[in-house]
Amino acid sequence: MILLTAAGTPAVAVAESRTATDTTEPLPLERLFDNRAVSDDARPGEADFDGAGNSLSAQDLRAAGWNPGRLLGLDSASLRWPHTRPGRPDNVTADGQQVRLSGTGNAISLLVAGTSRGAPGTDVTGTGTVRYWDGSTSAYSLSAPDWRGGPLATKAVALPKVNTRSGGPLTEKAKLYAVTVPVHEDRRIRSITLPRDPGSTSDLHVFAASVRREESSWTGSWTTSTAGYTTVGPWENQTLRLVVHTSAGGSRTRIKLANTFASGPVEIGHASVVVQREGATGRGRPVRLQFGGRDGVVMPAGTSAVSDPVGFQVPSGTNLLVSLHLPDPVAAAPVHSATSQRSYVSGKGSGDRTGDTEGSAFTGSLEVWPFLTAVDVRGGPGSVVAFGDSITDGVRSTPGANRRWPDVLSRRLRAQQEVPRYGVLNQGISANRVVSDRYPGDGISDDTGGVSAVHRLERDVLAQTNAHTVVVFEGINDVRWGATPEEVIAGLKEIARRAHERGLRVVGATLTPCEGYKDCFPEVDAKRSAVNAFVRDSKGTFDAVLDFDAVVRDPARPQRMLPAYDSGDHLHPGDAGLKAMADSVELKKLVP
């Protein structure tokens, strides 16, 4: 038996077949297009996406940077937006078609949306089959959120209006979604059979499909999660110099950038990397980075970009300066806010300073990480992802000292030879929750608590470079802000199930005590204890458990943190508490 589903959908147990019985020749997706989703604003009647005369605006897509034929980076996959004119077939209505694909990887990524013939509906779900060149198959379940009624938190792009055949546009969000289908990583993919028409009033539409490549030759060294989309600067013809701390080292490197949650494209004019000497000054001349052989890159709304590999020795456990030139005005950006790290920005109108060795041009400071989401190094054993909230993020640890518990864990891994020396990827977001969104997933907002762990799992864990294990340490914010233990437990189970489907080892961690914090009432501690009871006895959910609660609690009063480990606010451990947590990790529990 295997268990393969798309992210966020119910698991379906299926028997694996070694012989493909359908002899229909698979075709490229574009040869199967049978539906018109996109119309010109001047001629909205030329498309009918949902059977009710409604469609996407070609002008809105272009404003988002989603031009015909554009290659889009979505959750570490490359998906090409259909190269078709408005009013022409640009997607396939799923009904059992066989779509030709090729290659090996850890998932198939699809750009999809559901439609309802009438009022906006719920997700459209169906099952299909992945076929391999060795004759074997695997089944999957795929869910496409409704293009009008689906969530903003998981969308790939949101457009500001819906075109109608008559009566003018509707001022509501039109959304498209990237979803993934798990596959056997060791088998070459031949095709994917799309779900059959459910025979209801809803349809599942597919615009693009590709294999998300396995990247076993790379190791994630540093990451951060996009936590919101906020007002910045404004920056105009300026350079950001961002300070990040590596875990694993290597002789070649690349960076990842993201325009998550945005409504329009952003241009990075130039980029570079250098080891930090002090402040904004590097050790030697920064190394220029390119994107597809070009000095810069334009990222459409909601997409990401990866730089070309470059020969540059990245030391383990050291600070890098990653510089990004922004040639055009930028008034809002996707950011990670709780950095515990000072970064830098050059003066207004100072131009491209990515090649500067000295830091004199960087007269301003930043307390956020905009656009930059990862640094990878060539080689190495892969990575462990720390998936959590403010305690993982390092809130109230010493700024600039890299004393977050994932940093301490990384140092432990590098100093031993018992298990692989994994990179450690910090995907904590301050104020984040397991099952509800702080930031809604669209638009400019002061809230940088992120979308929920369930909603960001694909981007922040499953799409990370060569990740083998995820440590799930989250839930205290849920129980503090009204969620029931049952809701948190259901969210943790969903996270574990989806991570297991992708072959990751899943380690759960107990929630630490918070008595004395302003809203940590006795009823909150009771809910925390209920979640912890589940985590400790979670056979079938987690592969191993880290009891962080037992490490930092006061034996004389288990509802509170031991004073020696308390940062002073009674919720967040200080440096000593974070070190005690990381030191308590039995390293073998991280190994698949």
| DSSP code of residue 234 | E
- CA–CA dist 494, 512 (Å, integer): 21
Residues 6 or more apart whose Cβ sits within 8 Å of residue 278? none
Burial class (CB in 10 A: 0-12, 13-18, 19+), 292: exposed
Contact 324, 366 (CB under 8 A): no
Compute the distance between CA of residue 554 and CA of residue 563 in angstroms, rounded to an integer. 8
How far apart are alpha carbons 592 and 585 in whole angstroms?
15
- Helical ranges in 343-432 per DSSP H: 390-393, 405-414
Q: What is the DSSP letter of 511?
A: P
**Tokens representing residue 5 in the block:** 């589903």
Residue 582 makes CB contacts below 8 A (sequence gap 6+) with: 405, 406, 407, 408, 409, 412
User: With left for phi above 0 and alpha for psi between -120 and 50, is residue 533 left, alpha or beta?
Assistant: alpha
Q: What is the identity of the amino acid at 397? A: S
Each residue's pLDDT expressed in tens, for the chain with a length of 592 residues:
233 333 343 333 333 433 334 558 999 999 999 999 999 999 999 999 999 999 999 999 999 999 999 999 999 999 999 999 999 999 999 999 999 999 999 999 999 999 987 778 889 999 999 999 999 999 999 999 999 999 999 999 999 999 999 889 999 999 999 999 999 999 999 999 999 976 678 999 999 999 999 999 999 999 999 999 999 999 999 999 999 999 999 999 999 999 999 999 999 999 999 999 999 999 999 999 999 999 999 999 999 999 999 999 999 999 999 999 999 999 999 999 999 999 999 999 999 999 999 999 999 999 999 999 999 999 999 999 999 999 999 999 999 999 999 999 999 999 999 999 999 999 999 999 999 999 999 999 999 999 999 999 999 999 999 999 999 999 999 999 999 999 999 999 999 999 999 999 999 999 999 999 999 999 999 999 999 999 999 889 999 999 999 999 999 999 999 999 999 999 999 999 999 999 999 999 999 9
Say how far apart CA 370 and CA 323 lie, in whole Å. 11
Q: How far apart are CA 346 and CA 186, in angstroms?
A: 47
Distance, CA of 329 to chain centre: 26
pLDDT attached to residue 119: 75
Residue 312, exposed/middle/buried by CB under 10 A (0-12, 13-18, 19+)? Answer: buried
Q: For residues 11 and 5, give the distance between their C-alpha atoms in angstroms, rounded to a whole number.
A: 6
Answer whether 248's CB lies under 8 Å from 324's CB.
no
Are the C-beta atoms of residues 353 and 323 closer than 8 Å to each other?
A: yes
SS3 category, 539:
coil
Residue pair 388/473 in contact (Cβ under 8 Å)? The answer is yes
Q: Is 131 helix (H, G, I), strand (E, B) or coil?
A: strand
As a whole number of angstroms, the distance between CA 515 and CA 560 comes to: 5
pLDDT at 17: 38
Q: Please report the beta strands in 90-237, taking only residues with DSSP state E, as ranges in sequence order.
A: 92-93, 98-103, 107-116, 124-132, 137-144, 157-159, 163-164, 174-182, 189-193, 202-212, 218-223, 228-235
Token readout for 454 is 């369930």
For residue 445, give every residue at least 6 positions away whose Cβ sits within 8 Å of its Cβ, in sequence order, or none. Answer: 228, 229, 230, 439
Whole-number pLDDT of residue 118: 72
The pTM of the full predicted model, rounded to 2 decimals, is 0.95
Q: Report which residue type is found at 129.
A: T
pLDDT (0 to 100) of residue 336: 98
Q: Return the pLDDT at 199.
A: 65
Q: What CA–CA distance (Å, rounded) separates 557 from 555?
A: 5
Number of neighbouring beta carbons within 10 Å of residue 119: 10
Residue with tokens 């034929």: 69
Both tokens of 122, joined, read: 């719920």
Please tell me the predicted confidence (pLDDT) of residue 117: 78
DSSP assignment letter at 35? B
Q: What is the dihedral of CA 305, 78, 378, 283, to 10 degrees?
A: -10
**Buried residues in 42-62 as b, exposed as e (16+ CB within 10 A):** eebebbbbbeebbbbbbbbbe
Distance CA 410, CA 379 (A): 17
Buried b (16+ CB within 10 A) or exposed e, 245-277: bbbbbbebbbbbbbbbbbbebbebbbbbbbbbe
